[in-house]
Amino acid sequence: MIYRSFDDARAAVFDARLSRHDIEIRSVHGPNAGTHGWFAHEPDGPPLITCGRWYGAHTASVDAAQHSIEAFFSATVLAEGHRRLSADRRRSTREAICTPGESERSRSTSLG
């Protein structure tokens, strides 16, 4: 399901958490032989939670799904929703420290 906005998606999470229906796990085969994934859904409902990786073992996939469902119902959802990262947080740590041009400029201004 695709939501029109972040707020719509967030509201759907609250509704699902309040309803506390039984959540079913559906296993799926990955793109390569021997890879497994999963999604969780309410009976006769669309996917509610999906995995973000492929697992090498079916049992590892099911175990991860069970832990994800537990986390879904016990997690604290902040009132303000998502937060935007500053420009520095979107770069790697190495890039945020300084780029090669910046280190030369800072050296030349401290020497001059």
| Choice between 81 and 102, residue whose per-residue pLDDT is larger | 81
Q: Which residue has the tokens 């509704």?
A: 15
Round to whole Å and give the CA distance between 43 and 20: 12
Are 37 and 53 spatial neighbours (Cβ–Cβ below 8 Å)?
yes
The rounded mean pLDDT for the chain is: 76
pLDDT for the residue 85: 61
pLDDT for the residue 86: 62
What is the mean pLDDT of the segment spanning 37-52? 87
pLDDT for the residue 55: 93
In single-letter form, the type of residue at position 94 comes to R
pLDDT band at 60 (very low <50, low <70, confident <90, very high): very high
In single-letter form, the type of residue at position 69 comes to I
Supply 110's token pair: 């401290």
3-class secondary structure, 55: strand
Are 73 and 17 spatial neighbours (Cβ–Cβ below 8 Å)?
yes
> With a threshold of 0.75, does the pTM exceed it?
no
